Structures are given as structure tokens and as C-alpha cells.
Amino acid sequence: SPAQKLVFNRVNGKRPQVLPQHVSAPEECYTSAHEENVRFVYEAWQQVEQQLDDSQRGENVCGPVQYVEKTPNPGLKNFVPIDLEEWWAQQFLAKIENCS
């Protein structure tokens, strides 16, 4: 079975309190517009995934269609897409470790 992924959700849509960092590492700043864009894309993608699952189970005839390459590019044979959730989790844990 695949390894479980760490998922970080905000409580009541609020940001957790951030403790002051003692390490002088460059900090990434996210504007409210950036967070709104990320939230929009995330929610839209969740809807697409749900509709795709429904259409694969035959519950919804119209919906998104998953594209499958008919003749795959041999140069991409060993391509492995990045798991962004896992990457963010690693960044989060590294930041915690650097602060302690």
C-alpha cells in the first residue's frame, strides 16, 4: 500500500499562530491574492477529480475527460511527476527542524 501523505488543514479557515523564527533563513511571503489563487485552483481541481470519479463509476455521463496519450513520447518514459503535497510536507518539516 502507498505511504500515507501528510495533509495540513487550517482550523476554521484561520492561520495558525506562527512562532518567531530564530534562524535567519529567507522566509517566503504569501500575499492574500496568492492564497486566494491557490485556494481557487485547489477547490476547482477537487471538483474536477470528483466529477472524473463520478463519470468513471457511470454516475455522470457528461463531465471531464481524462486525456491519455495514444503514442507516448519515448523521451518521457521515466518521467515521474512531483507530488506537491509531499514536497510541501517536507518543506514544512524541514522548517520545523531548523527552528528547534
**What tens digit of pLDDT does each residue of 52-70 get?**
888 777 766 677 777 888 8
DSSP letter for 12, please: T
The predicted model scores a pTM of: 0.40
Sign of the dihedral defined by the CA atoms of residues 76, 78, 83, 89, in that order: negative
DSSP letter for 76, please: G
Dist CA 85 CA 82 (whole Å): 9
Dist CA 34 CA 11 (whole Å): 19
**The pLDDT value given to residue 67:** 81
Instruction: Say what the alpha-carbon torsion angle 7, 13, 17, 18 is, to the nearest 10 degrees.
Output: 60
